Structure 1
Amino acid sequence: MKSDVEENIDADLNAADVQPFEVSGGASAFPPSVQPGIPKLGRKPRGWTRAPIGEFLEPVFRTAKLVDDERYQLVTAKRSRGGIVPRAILYGRDIHTKTQFYVEANDFLISRRQISHGACGLVPANLDGAVVSNEYVALKPKSGLDLRFLQHLSHSVYFQQTCFHSSIGVHVEKLVFKIEDWLEWEIDVPPMAEQRRIADILDAWDRAIAHTEALIDAKRRRKAELTRRLLHEGGERNGRLGDLAAINPRGPRVSENSSVSFVPMDAVSEDGRLIINLARRRGEIGSGYTGFVDNDVLVAKITPCFENGKGGHVCGLHSGVGFGSTEFHVLRPNDQGDARFIHHHIMAAAFRRNGERYMTGSAGQRRVPAAFIEDYRIPLMDAERRRNAASILDAADNEIGLLQQELRRLTDQKRGLMQKLLSGDMRLSSMEAAE
């Protein structure tokens, strides 16, 4: 049964045109976890308070005097607002940084070294009494600020930008947070009742996202079990992938005036799907590329692309012919009906685990040899069982794909909704403006 908050979400959304959050065009020199733009507040919403962050939050310091024979829970703040999580439990004598502080449940904890990447969050109840070094700062709200509202506010672009611009250094990975500067930035805060209503709505959205993520995780575990049973158990005889496909066959002959598909390594997702299919003229591609045709199966040669599952079944190419990175191995099925069966083998975790043992080259340039793929041992069942196994695993992939689409939709909607609620562009007409 839905809560009152969840029942009212649709009504709240119908009251405004909520669109996914838009990011300005142009590539960024910073990683996705960083929001480097200049923090700018819009017009102050009617009835809200605009004041420095220091009017709402204050640092707290609870010195922990470490005892060698006592054990202490250490925590860390994950990047991209990933929350506060356990790190290790150590005896006092094993904690090298002796300047430690206790944190309490519902402290807002900031990593001074990683806050430019969004490493902050509320301390959960199960980590009450943990210790952190002076590389962290814990803050408590003053009157007029709801903790759950603060948690959501920390996900806003404006909040992240204030953190970035309160950090100094010459490299994004070595910035140091200046808490005294950050506390001077102004924020817009609604009355307490509106804060709680906003937090209720965004909490409900987070529950829907978490539920979908849990379903995806469960479906992936189920698919892993199906893969083990369908691909790695049974079979009339012990075979090899090389029995089903030619490894790195001669590329297709294509006229220089022909238009063909071009597939770079970054056009292949980590779930084995071609996510880009760029048509180019053969004469514009140049030499030194791997050629393949429809129903070939690609396998990345290099780490970490191989370890992350880059590769998969090629289908729907422009003109049926494609060229791509030389860092792909090409598997051409002897029977095109085996393409999906081979695809699921090369996407399986067991394939990658075994491949890592056969890699050659230096640490930064390790490669999987073609001989490993050709000799990779598989139980070789009859053609009908191969087709059935591929169909079952395709259906499992489709289920996961639909859930991933739903997760993206929910995430985009929540991001757009959050932007409107936290900026005051969308007001909650069903509640009073003040307590």
Structure 2
Amino acid sequence: MVPNGWTLNNFNSVAELIHGFQFREHHFSESGVPIVKIASISHLRGVSLEKCSYISEEIASEFSKYQIEAGDVLMALTGGTLGKTCKVQEDIEICLQNYRVGNFKPKASFLDKDFLYYFLISFTVQKKIENIVNEAAQPNVGKADFDKIKVLTPPLPEQRKIAKILGTWDKAISTTERLIDNSKQQKKALMQHLLTGAHTQRKRLLDDSGKPFEGEWEEIEVGDLGTIYSGGTPSTTNKAYWDGEIDWITPTDITKQDSVYIKSSVRKISSEGLKNSSAKLVPKGSLLVCTRATIGEMAITAHEMCTNQGFKNIIPNKKTNIEFLFYLLTYQKHKLVSKASGSTFLELSKSAFESMKFRVPVIDEQQKIASVLTNADREIEVLEQQLADLKHEKKALMQQLLTGKRRVKI
């Protein structure tokens, strides 16, 4: 149903899709005018000209019709990021449009540029693009695909008001993303300061009496920080061993989450599966360290669970704070990788892992350091939840505004 005062138009009657030029190797030079490729498109941040290719200014003059301007709406028309869209920022320098980057030009009497941008990132359009991706071996979209799309078009003043409202949400999202980036940088600096040992710290944390911690950190082997167990896999041919109630962690379970703590696994095993394999239950508060393929990825168990053989699992002793150890080994991940070996795939053996040495403070200082870094993680988690909420709310608002279900006052 077309809202009162709106019109329903074919896409090609209100906008035009312009394809870029297929620049070849002989066009490129070390400097000059940047070429905007699909990788240059960043949804809320416009066009990134970092790590791009260039052509000389002399050659660029021959391709002026492919020059990108502030306010242009660009989209990736092929590949794994098909449908990725951005609005070109106001301070963009002179640059040219590469092949398979689409530049959408609205017909000024029908469509506002900003409204066109929000229409292209809307659920309606992105869902059509997703369907193309699912149906094609090598997904591409072009003029013929967009000519099949209908555009619900409000009067221009209403379009501008809709775009202005959604722009306010985008600014809030961009601000939150910057806050997250800044918080992550601050945490990185904290880790560098707090985890490199007393001999490099300019300022130590305070103990419970309010005095700075003193004394050198002790160099300790990983094997002396707790008890270390490997994991295992029950026979996959015996159905009785699977789909039980015991969480059985794989490296994929670790890499797909952002939290310090892991609460569940995709696959679970039964008590029989546990008994008839080398998998071993480790208690809540154990550190699961990937030592095969994705070496150095890790998480702390939120409850009792087990792992496959791609892990070395640390049950800490009384002198080890497990959160401190998580942050320490995360910061020193490069050392774990350097100790790995193997011709088919890299693996860190149990003996090599146990013999690795790291500088470690006394338990009280470990706890203070872990507390500071845990608080930093919590701040990031709060911001990330705020970002997720903003994106969800904007998506719902877009659906209402772009379909006319919610009208704006002009």
Asked whether the two chains share a fold, i.e. TM above 0.5, the reply is yes
Asked if 1:246 is matched to 2:227, the reply is yes
- Aligned-residue offset at 1:299: 1.0
Q: For structure 1, which segment, 64-73 or 193-202, has the greater mean C-alpha deviation from structure 2 after superposition?
A: 64-73
Asked whether the equivalents of residues 298 and 331 of structure 1 are also in contact (C-alpha less than 8 Å), the reply is: yes
Aligned partner of residue 51 in structure 1, secondary structure: strand
Aligned to 1:196: 160
Equivalent positions of 1:20-39 (< 5 A) are none
Aligned partner of residue 294 in structure 1, secondary structure: coil
Aligned to 2:329: 346
Sort the Cα spacing of 1:290 and 1:146 in 2 relative to 1 into closer, same or farther, 3 A.
Answer: farther
C-alpha separation between the residues in 2 aligned to 1:388 and 1:281?
Answer: 39
Asked whether the equivalents of residues 297 and 314 of structure 1 are also in contact (C-alpha less than 8 Å), the reply is: yes
Asked if 1:109 is matched to 2:109, the reply is no
C-alpha separation between the residues in 2 aligned to 1:131 and 1:124?
Answer: 14
Aligned partner of residue 313 in structure 1, secondary structure: strand
Asked whether the equivalents of residues 37 and 98 of structure 2 are also in contact (C-alpha less than 8 Å), the reply is: no
- Aligned-residue offset at 1:360: 2.4
C-alpha separation between the residues in 2 aligned to 1:63 and 1:330?
Answer: 54
- Aligned-residue offset at 1:376: 3.4
Asked if 1:420 is matched to 2:378, the reply is no
Aligned partner of 1:85 among 36, 48, 59: 48
Equivalent positions of 1:12-411 (< 5 A) are 43-60=1-18, 71-78=32-39, 81=43, 83-86=46-49, 87-92=51-56, 101-114=66-79, 117-142=82-107, 143-164=109-130, 170-171=136-137, 174-234=138-198, 235-248=216-229, 260-268=246-254, 269-276=257-264, 281-283=270-272, 287=277, 289-303=279-293, 305-306=294-295, 310-315=297-302, 317=303, 320=304, 322-335=305-318, 338-348=321-331, 351-362=332-343, 365-411=345-391
C-alpha separation between the residues in 2 aligned to 1:69 and 1:410?
Answer: 41
TM-score of the two chains, using structure 2 as the length reference: 0.78
C-alpha separation between the residues in 2 aligned to 1:275 and 1:410?
Answer: 26
- Aligned-residue offset at 1:288: 5.2
Asked whether the equivalents of residues 247 and 269 of structure 2 are also in contact (C-alpha less than 8 Å), the reply is: yes
Asked whether the equivalents of residues 74 and 88 of structure 1 are also in contact (C-alpha less than 8 Å), the reply is: yes
Aligned partner of residue 366 in structure 2, secondary structure: helix
C-alpha separation between the residues in 1 aligned to 2:133 and 2:290?
Answer: 39
C-alpha separation between the residues in 1 aligned to 2:28 and 2:307?
Answer: 59
C-alpha separation between the residues in 2 aligned to 1:299 and 1:147?
Answer: 50
Q: Which amino acid aligns with 1:178?
A: G
Aligned partner of residue 69 in structure 2, secondary structure: coil
Q: Which amino acid aligns with 1:144?
A: F
Aligned partner of residue 389 in structure 2, secondary structure: helix
C-alpha separation between the residues in 1 aligned to 2:352 and 2:118?
Answer: 49
C-alpha separation between the residues in 2 aligned to 1:190 and 1:371?
Answer: 69
Aligned to 2:203: none
C-alpha separation between the residues in 2 aligned to 1:126 and 1:89?
Answer: 19
Q: Which amino acid aligns with 1:414?
A: K
C-alpha separation between the residues in 1 aligned to 2:116 and 2:81?
Answer: 17
Q: Which amino acid aligns with 1:46?
A: N
Structure 1, unmatched stretches of 5+, are 1-42
C-alpha separation between the residues in 1 aligned to 2:221 and 2:11?
Answer: 64
Structure number with higher relative contact order (C-alpha < 8 Å, ≥ 6 residues apart): 1
- Aligned-residue offset at 1:241: 2.7
C-alpha separation between the residues in 2 aligned to 1:390 and 1:167?
Answer: 45
Q: Which amino acid aligns with 1:330?
A: N
TM-score of the two chains, using structure 1 as the length reference: 0.74
RMSD: 3.6
Sort the Cα spacing of 1:359 and 1:189 in 2 relative to 1 into closer, same or farther, 3 A.
Answer: farther
C-alpha separation between the residues in 2 aligned to 1:344 and 1:263?
Answer: 20
C-alpha separation between the residues in 1 aligned to 2:291 and 2:184?
Answer: 24
Structure 2, unmatched stretches of 5+, are 199-215, 233-240
- Aligned-residue offset at 1:81: 4.2
Aligned to 1:20: none
Asked whether the equivalents of residues 290 and 328 of structure 1 are also in contact (C-alpha less than 8 Å), the reply is: no
- Aligned-residue offset at 1:385: 1.0
Aligned partner of residue 388 in structure 2, secondary structure: helix
Identity of aligned residues (%): 22
- Aligned-residue offset at 1:352: 1.9
Query: What is the number of equivalent residue pairs in this alignment?
Result: 370
C-alpha separation between the residues in 2 aligned to 1:337 and 1:237?
Answer: 12
Aligned to 1:9: none
Sort the Cα spacing of 1:250 and 1:92 in 2 relative to 1 into closer, same or farther, 3 A.
Answer: closer
1:316-346 CA deviation, whole Å, 9 max, x = no partner? Answer: x2xx4x1233222201212275212112222
Q: Which amino acid aligns with 1:301?
A: T
C-alpha separation between the residues in 2 aligned to 1:335 and 1:345?
Answer: 17
C-alpha separation between the residues in 1 aligned to 2:186 and 2:397?
Answer: 33
Aligned partner of residue 232 in structure 1, secondary structure: coil
